[in-house]
Amino acid sequence: MLESPRPWTAFYSASVRKDIDVLPFRNIGDFVTAIASQYEKQPAFTTCLANGMNGTLTFEQVDEMSDALAVYLREVAGLDTGDRVAVQMPNCLSYPIAALGVFKAGCVLVNVNPLYTSEEMAKQFEDATPSAVIVVDLFADKLTDAMHGHPIPNVIVTRVAEFFPRAPQWIVGLVQKYWDKSVKPIDLPHIRLPDALKAGRAKHDSAHNTIERYRSTVEPDDVACLQYTGGTTGVSKGAMLSHRNILMNMEQTMELLPTIEKGKEIALTALPLYHIFAFTVNFLGFYSIGARNILIPNPRPLTNVKRAMENYKITWMSGVNTLFNGLSNEQWFLDTPPKHLKFASSGGMALQTSVAQRWEEITGKPVIEGYGLTESSPVLTFNPLGKSREGSIGVPVPSTYVKCVDEAGNEVPQGEPGEVAAYGPQIMLGYWNKPEETAKTMRDGWLLTGDIGTMDADGYFRIVDRKKDMILVSGFNVYPNEIEDIIAAHPGVNEVAVIGVPDGAAGEAVKAFIVKQDDGLSVDDVRAYCKKHLTNYKVPKQVEFREELPKSNVGKILRKDLRAEELAK
């Protein structure tokens, strides 16, 4: 560990360790089995559909099924330690079985966005070269094209309602196959997940200590996941996250949540589990404390979340700014906000002040903002409970060092903006098969995040903006986050995104894209409001109203898509 001042540790509660020196488990497979033995009969995962139909698995069931899958992968499919397994599905009961089974087999999990096109899937498959793919039937028809030129020998297919009670499973299957025709025929050799589990059980029964044997070859610094990201340099690549990275980050994050009660929490997971924040914190973090995880396959439209909030006593949830903003504008949510919620956590994009304030007015509970990247497993900072600061991403989690640096890598004076750099046990091993990209992002163990931030005198950090999103107006640095935060506070605005567009001699001009809350809102209204709160060169020169803004699958507004549109003009 570095010898460097960490003023932020003064804000840790008395029970929080400044450093986590001991890895809690040797690998994720060991972790899964140990936790399951503590909470055997308690519900671990519940999938709740928009109509309220649901299915639940206990810790014991998830443990047994993931054991069976691990044996299938090794003894039937013929995979070996370190082989990659792609998992491509929305939030459903099959996901924890698939992911945990891959870890128990000693293989490497490759999370794949289920909404990817065949072309996007092909690029990821070509790079990761998986030996097996576990895919939901809704998207399996894309596999044929995706595997052209780089076939995957083992294909396992599951369903969104897999492991539901028989009646709702049958109803959902009929609707998908015959009513909305969302499930198309699969024209390549495959095995259904229940059949793979059955085959694994048959092999498991004839062998002793098979799972322990697989796990015994997995070291803490072996790769556990290839988590694909645009990263800090733009090109999609697989961040190599080790068992140590993920287990330590899970431990670091949960350490800052002292009010969490083991075996009693009910977490709502609307963010997709293939996304790194939901994966480490919602999935593994809350699994570690015996929480019940309510999985939402698709939170769009937001009414899809309504029955889950009505039927379960949700104590914790995570989301991005757009999710909290959207729920705060749903009448059903305003009428019956969650009564048992302790707090919510935000990440993935800047949490706008107006959104955080409105959420707390409605629910009586705060949204606590944190910060991280795929490359850091992901959590780097978090606002301590009861000590959060508006507009801040909080303080570094235990065993973590964060600083702001200039282009030469020198630390900038306190309060001055610089690129955020981080060091700790959660920092990735590097990018898969991309040493040049790794060298651009990591220096002497420090991760260069690509975000511009500042540090307060006592160690709280604030993100000014993405380095690549900064707008240069007549030589002045303008940060979109600041302008978006101001515009979002206008009562006539629902959503906003700000980018820089070419502007002759000035270099760039500020342009705002707005989704209206009030149909009467005009361009003049927006500019007049901004002039009250911003210096002149920050006021948007252009304002465009839209019906909607481009978003990622986790709800993050995509400025890059708006920039591409403008450049195409």
Give the strands of the sheet with 493-502, arranged side by side: 493-502, 508-516, 542-545
Q: Are 474 and 538 in contact (CB under 8 A)?
A: no
3-state DSSP helix/strand/coil % of the chain, to nearest 5: 35, 25, 40
pLDDT tens for the chain, 569 residues long, are 576 789 999 999 888 999 999 999 999 999 999 999 999 999 999 999 999 999 999 999 999 999 999 999 999 999 999 999 999 999 999 999 999 999 999 999 999 999 888 888 998 999 999 999 999 999 999 999 999 888 999 999 999 999 999 887 888 777 776 666 677 888 899 999 999 999 999 987 665 578 899 999 999 999 999 999 865 555 579 999 999 999 999 999 999 887 889 999 999 999 999 999 999 999 999 999 999 999 999 998 999 999 999 999 999 999 988 899 999 999 999 999 999 999 999 987 778 899 999 999 999 999 999 999 999 999 999 998 888 898 899 999 999 999 999 999 999 999 999 999 999 999 999 999 999 999 999 999 999 999 999 999 999 999 988 888 889 887 777 889 889 999 999 999 999 999 999 887 667 899 999 999 999 999 999 999 999 998 888 999 999 999 999 998 888 899 999 999 998 88
What's the CATH code of the domain at 553? Answer: 3.30.300.30
Q: Which amino acid is it at 72?
A: Y
Please state, in angstroms and rounded to a whole number, the distance separating the CA atoms of residues 291 and 49.
20
| Residue 523 located in a structural domain | yes
* 147 within domain boundaries: no
Q: What is the token pair recorded at 517? A: 């809350």
Q: How far apart are CA 505 and CA 496, in angstroms?
A: 26
Q: Is 541 contained in some domain? A: yes
Which CA distances in Å does 518 have to 6, 325, 514, 546? 46, 15, 11, 13
- Domain membership of residue 506 (yes or no) is yes
Q: Could you tell me if 525 and 492 are in contact, meaning their C-beta atoms sit under 8 angstroms apart?
A: yes
- Spell out the residues 6+ positions from residue 438 whose beta carbon is closer than 8 angstroms to its own: 430, 431
Tens-place pLDDT, residues 252-286: 999 988 788 999 999 999 999 999 999 999 999 99
Q: Is 485 part of any domain?
A: yes
Provide the pairing of β-strand 266-269 with 316-319: parallel
DSSP character string of 43-112: EEEEEE-TTS-EEEEEHHHHHHHHHHHHHIIIIIS---TT-EEEEE--SSTHHHHHHHHHHHTT-EEEE-
Identify the pLDDT of residue 207.
56
Separation of alpha carbons 296 and 318, rounded Å: 12
Q: Which two tokens mark 153?
A: 């020998």
- Per the structure, the count of domains in the chain is 1
CB proximity list for 479: less than 8 A, separation 6 or greater: 452, 464, 465, 469, 470, 471
In a domain, 34, yes or no: no
Contacts of 324 (CB under 8 A, 6+ apart): 344, 346, 351, 355, 356, 359, 367
Residue 320 lies in a domain: no
Q: What is the pLDDT of residues 320-355, one digit of tens each?
A: 888 999 999 999 999 999 999 999 999 877 788 999
**For residue 190, is it within any domain?**
no
Q: Which domain holds residue 477?
A: 470-568
Q: How many residues does the chain have?
A: 569
